Amino acid sequence: MSEQHKAAARAVFDVWNDGRLERLDALIAPHVVHHDPYDPHGADGLVGMKQTIASVRARFPALRLTVEDQIVEDDQVATRSTGRLASGRAIAGITIDRFEDGKIVEAWRSMVPLDTSQ
């Protein structure tokens, strides 16, 4: 199951990159809660997650995220990612996804700029 969970968590990053929000239906539970203090849709389930991704992609259409590392423990996958904005600014993130019945039901996400001088 751990390889399936890693693949599902990685596929969510693909959606951030390509904007194909319909792919989330197979990966994310409708009642998902995503804990991100900067996400106004964090408690709005799958619909809210789609809104968040769509709004971030609209604001930063050239954003590309790359999965760097993944660690699996029981029903959770921790993913370390990096990204780059069109401005060249680099970001790094950590996401922890918790799975039930093969879908993400809870996610913790934190992203920060790598170079705060810009």
pTM of the model: 0.91
DSSP-derived secondary structure letter, 24: G
Do residues 17 and 64 touch, judged by C-beta distance below 8 A?
yes
Q: How confident is the model at residue 22 (pLDDT cuts 50, 70, 90)?
A: very high
- Reading the block at residue 86, the tokens are 């069109």
**pLDDT mean over 71-75:** 96
Do residues 11 and 22 touch, judged by C-beta distance below 8 A?
no
Residues 10, 94, 89, 68, CA torsion sign: negative
Longest dimension (CA), the chain: 43
Q: Which domains does the chain have, with CATH numbers?
A: 2-113 (3.10.450.50)
Query: What is the rounded distance in angstroms from the CA atom of residue 109 to the CA atom of residue 91?
Result: 13
Task: Please state whether 101 falls in left (phi above 0), alpha (psi between -120 and 50) or beta.
Answer: left
Q: Using one digit for the tens of pLDDT, what is the confidence trace for 24-58?
A: 999 999 999 999 888 999 999 999 999 999 999 99
Q: In this model, does residue 117 exceed pLDDT 60?
A: no
